[in-house]
Amino acid sequence: MGAVIDHLPFEVDLDLIRRLDCNGPRYTSYPTADRFIEAFGPETYKSWASKRNIGGIHRALSLYVHLPFCGTVCFYCACNKVVTRDKTKGERYLDYLAREIALQAPLFRDDPAVTQMHWGGGTPTFFSSSQLGELFALLRRHFAFAEGGEYSIEVDPRTVDPDAIAALRKMGFNRLSLGVQDFDPQVQRAVNRVQSEEQTFAVMAAARDERFLSINVDLIYGLPKQNLLTFNRTLARVVEAQPDRIAIYNYAHLPARFKPQRRISESDLPSPGIKLKLLALAAQRLTEAGYVYIGMDHFAKPDDPLAVAQRQGRLHRNFQGYSTHPDCDLIGLGVSAIGSIGPTYSQNFRDLKDYYDSLERGVLPIMRGVELNADNLVRRAVIQALMCHFTLSKDSIEIAYLIDFDRYFASELAGLRELEQLGLLELEERWINVTPKGRMLIRNVCMVFDKYLRRDQEVRRYSRVI
């Protein structure tokens, strides 16, 4: 029997996690982005955009805006970013982003209602408040923003003051996500992100003064110089500040893929055993503080919309993580941004030069994508249900997709029986239920339904599941 923290609504069985830890997708989509193909281009995208309301089905829109610039590099970062202090590069990017918006917006003119938007990066607050305000105003001219929508932006506390927070609220943002990672000075120096508690809490206080509806804090476990004592101190300070949501991400050390990570000394990284204990400590501290485990790194207060949506069976998962808006078409704007229109996914060029070149020609900067077939759709529904709710009704899948579940997924059910023997789930005649100890390993459960992972070597391209 592993070391089990059994007083939580989920269990952290360290021995079981150690045994099953492997590489695997995060399932912000299915198929995952590495399965997109270049045969899917701008014309295919436009074709699907024109068909989105056929049959009288009206799906609201969600916007994702990627702003890739950062003034300094954080060594742990694996985002698509451009590190520069040259503000003119940012100005040029905004000009091209406006061109993309001008190409995208007419495709949705018949039904431009937006209920959700997220700006990520990079560091969106690399740009001035006036630049961000002009970009938001531009989007408002092209799309109809719903009064009660969710409009969020990622903020680096080192780049804003109370006036900047007030400006974001005035523009229309009502949710903030703050990068923290760790408050320990040694850890911060090791990852080149020195950020005081005072800076962070001043931003949170300003956001509360401006009546932001939700504040999220991002932490990372497994960073260089981290240990149980110092991370416990960071957790205590974060809990004391009472953000509405807390995300605790696993640091994936992949220096061959992400150049900044080569500046991190592997000898400074916590051992695999300590890393698992850091995760267990975070789970324990946050749950004791009253946060609900949503799944896949995310915790929220019980009255937060994410927790409410999960209780009501409305939770969804997309490229920004967990979401309360399941029925949106997602428009991705900016370099590397991913969109999802109807039964398709698409991704913009990841390199700035390619992104600019396409827009110079007046062509949507779509690099690749995928049209989901019937098998993709049913597997996506299964993975979504497990990721969001830890339970799956076979009847609901059979009714929606006209299959015999047990026959269609015969080989997958055989794989699930192995996980059942390990205590990760319970297989009932008409239900699949993930157990408390299986919830921390939900990626392992979902991987059984991923037809692209049948060959072992395919798994190597992903980060560790824990």
232-264 tens-digit pLDDT = 999 999 999 999 999 999 998 989 988 999 999
The average confidence (pLDDT) of the chain is 91
Query: Any residues with CB less than 8 A from the CB of 120 and at least 6 apart, and which?
Result: 64, 65, 66, 67, 154, 320
* pLDDT recorded at residue 359: 98
Which DSSP string do the residues of 403-460 spell out, in sequence order?
--HHHHTHHHHHHHHHHHHTTSEEE-SSEEEE-GGGGGGHHHHHHTT-GGG-SGGGGG
* pLDDT recorded at residue 2: 41
In this prediction the pTM is 0.91
Q: Is residue 360 scored above 70 in pLDDT?
A: yes
Q: Contact, 382 vs 372, CB < 8 A?
A: no
Read off the pLDDT of residues 270-299 as tens digits, 9 standing for 90 and up: 998 899 899 999 999 999 999 999 988 899
SS3 246: strand
* pLDDT recorded at residue 187: 97
* pLDDT recorded at residue 139: 98
Mean pLDDT of 34-55: 91
Q: Is residue 3 scored above 60 in pLDDT?
A: no
Q: Contact, 449 vs 414, CB < 8 A?
A: no
Tokens 């100005």 sit at which residue? 91
> Residue 7: which pLDDT band, with cuts at 50, 70 and 90?
very low
Which DSSP string do the residues of 281-323 spell out, in sequence order?
HHHHHHHHTT-EEEETTEEE-TTSHHHHHHHTT--EEETTEEE
Q: Is residue 216 scored above 60 in pLDDT?
A: yes
> Residue 461: which pLDDT band, with cuts at 50, 70 and 90?
low
* pLDDT recorded at residue 5: 36
> Residue 6: which pLDDT band, with cuts at 50, 70 and 90?
very low
* pLDDT recorded at residue 327: 74
| Percentage of the chain lying above the pLDDT 90 cut | 77
Tokens 């476990």 sit at which residue? 221
Complete domains list, the chain, with CATH: 1-31+374-466 (1.10.10.920), 32-330 (3.80.30.20)
* pLDDT recorded at residue 27: 85
Q: Is residue 52 scored above 60 in pLDDT?
A: yes
Q: Contact, 351 vs 336, CB < 8 A?
A: no
Token pair, residue 175, equals: 């949710």
Q: Give the C-alpha distances (Å, rounded to integers) separating 241 from 182, 204, 236, 460.
A: 14, 8, 9, 38
Query: Any residues with CB less than 8 A from the CB of 437 and at least 6 apart, and which?
Result: 4, 10, 11, 12, 13, 16, 423, 424
Q: Is residue 332 scored above 90 in pLDDT?
A: yes
Read off the pLDDT of residues 139-159 as tens digits, 9 standing for 90 and up: 999 999 999 899 999 999 999
Mean pLDDT of 291-318: 90
Q: Is residue 448 scored above 50 in pLDDT?
A: yes
Q: Is residue 115 scored above 80 in pLDDT?
A: yes
> Residue 56: which pLDDT band, with cuts at 50, 70 and 90?
low
Contacts 24+ apart (CB under 8 A), 204-211: 204/178, 204/241, 204/243, 206/161, 206/162, 206/165, 206/166, 207/165, 207/169, 207/176, 209/162, 210/165, 210/166, 210/168, 210/169, 211/169
